Amino acid sequence: MKVLIAFDDSPYSQKVINQILRSQWRPHVTFKVLMILEPICISTEFGDQETADAIEKIYKKRWHYASKVCESVVQRLKASISECSAEYEVKEGTAGKEIVNAAVSWHADKVILGAHGFGICPRNILGSVSTYVAAHAPCSIEIIRSQVSA
């Protein structure tokens, strides 16, 4: 079984990982931790070289941090779930679309992600990313919600 875990290092994603670690898994499950970085939308067209260098430095730090966080999650999975394999990938783009694209290209059997539910209307149950993935992914989806107070 191939399980894609959409992860963004938020408290919600930490709850997703904790839930995965508490679950029972068949031997030889393969996990892929996927972190999507939203593009940096800063124009350097009218900026100087110092501005361009600062933006490049921020860009590299984001990728380095994302890789470190994902590697930590991979190590937790391998240490806690016997006979599993795990890897990670960091991509840049729009979260919902990139998660679906990764599920398709990796031939995932399941996608697991969290949901904030921060829509405009309080009746919204899922966030925009989880709603998009649920509507477009070619495989089973598990959406782990955070605790909601009444």
pLDDT at 150: 46
Q: For the domain that residue 31 is a member of, what is the CATH number?
A: 3.40.50.620
- As beta bridge partners, residue 36 has 91
Residues 62-121 have pLDDT tens digits of 999 999 999 999 999 999 999 999 999 999 999 999 999 999 999 999 999 988 655 444
Percent of the chain with pLDDT over 90: 63
pTM attached to this predicted model: 0.86
Q: How many residues does the chain have?
A: 150
Residue 70 located in a structural domain: yes
Residue 79 located in a structural domain: yes
Give the count of domains, the chain: 1
Residue 116 located in a structural domain: yes
Residue ranges making up the domain that contains 6: 2-145
Residues 47, 67: Cα–Cα separation, whole Å: 29
Residue 150 located in a structural domain: no
pLDDT at 13 over 60: yes
Enclosing H/E stretch for 100: helix 95-106
pLDDT at 47: 66
> Exposure pattern of 68-97 as b/e (b: 16+ CB <10 Å)?
ebbeebbebbeeebeebebebbbeeeebbe
Q: Which amino acid is at 11?
A: P
User: Listing from the earlier edge strand, what are the strands of the sheet with 140-145?
Assistant: 85-92, 30-37, 2-6, 110-115, 140-145
Quick one: average pLDDT of 110-133?
71
